[in-house]
Amino acid sequence: MSDMEFSIPVELPLDADGFIRRECPHCEQQFKWHSGPANAEAELQPAQESYYCPLCGQPAGRDSWWTREQLDYAEEVAAPTVREAMDAEVDKIFRGLKSPNIKVNRSGALDAPDPPSPLTEPNDMVIVTSPCHAWEPIKVPEGGGGPLHCLVCGAAFTLG
């Protein structure tokens, strides 16, 4: 399968403040983090391998925070490319089969569906910063009562 590896760039929308929606793999609640460094101090920080959920405090790897909608969207965006690649593989196989004694009838490639309409990101939730890692702002749903957790280190804090 190694010759079928390919990567497909999928653009996900940011809200007006530059935040991207995230979903915790543990508690399945949504929040947002800033896409890229939010400020000069953040630019100096090393890239993190994992982050802590601001809502339940559980850590997960940096690629574990896709929302259901983002995964569905990525799948839709990727599907035509995957189908083309598989089609090319099937062609190769059929080409290998052709000989004077074998007649291969292969119907046309599957119809490609229209590309999905892009996701949109409403400018909801409120921006908060943790006291310990204030250079990494997050957005959490409005009116959440309990303590929050620092995205960077997991330390609990309450909004003053």
Output 34 or 133, the one with its CB closest to Zn ion: 133
Q: Which amino acid, one-letter code, is at 103? A: K
Contact by Cβ (8 Å): 152, 48: yes
- What's the min distance (Å) between Cβ of 141 and Zn ion? 12
Residue 8 or 156 having the CB closest to Zn ion? 156
What residue ranges bind Zn ion (CB under 5 A)? 24, 26-27, 53, 55-56, 130, 132-133, 150, 152-153, 155
Within its chain, how far is the Cα of 129 from the centroid? 23
Nearer to Zn ion, 56 or 79 (CB): 56
Which residues on adjacent β-strands are paired with residue 127? 139
3-state secondary structure of 94: helix
For residue 19, the minimal CB distance to Zn ion (Å) is: 17
In the complex, what is the shortest distance from the CB of residue 49 to Zn ion, in angstroms, rounded to a whole number?
Answer: 15
Q: Which is nearer to Zn ion, 70 or 130 (CB)?
A: 130
Least gap, CB of 30 to Zn ion (angstroms): 9
The least distance separating Zn ion from the CB of residue 79, rounded to whole angstroms, comes to 30
Instruction: Please report the DSSP string for 4-65 in residue order.
Output: G-----------TTSEEEEE-TTT--EEEEESS-SSHHHHTSPPPSEEE-TTT--EEETT--
- Cα angle value 119/120/125 (rounded, 5°): 130
Nearer of residues 43 and 91 to Zn ion, judged by Cβ: 43
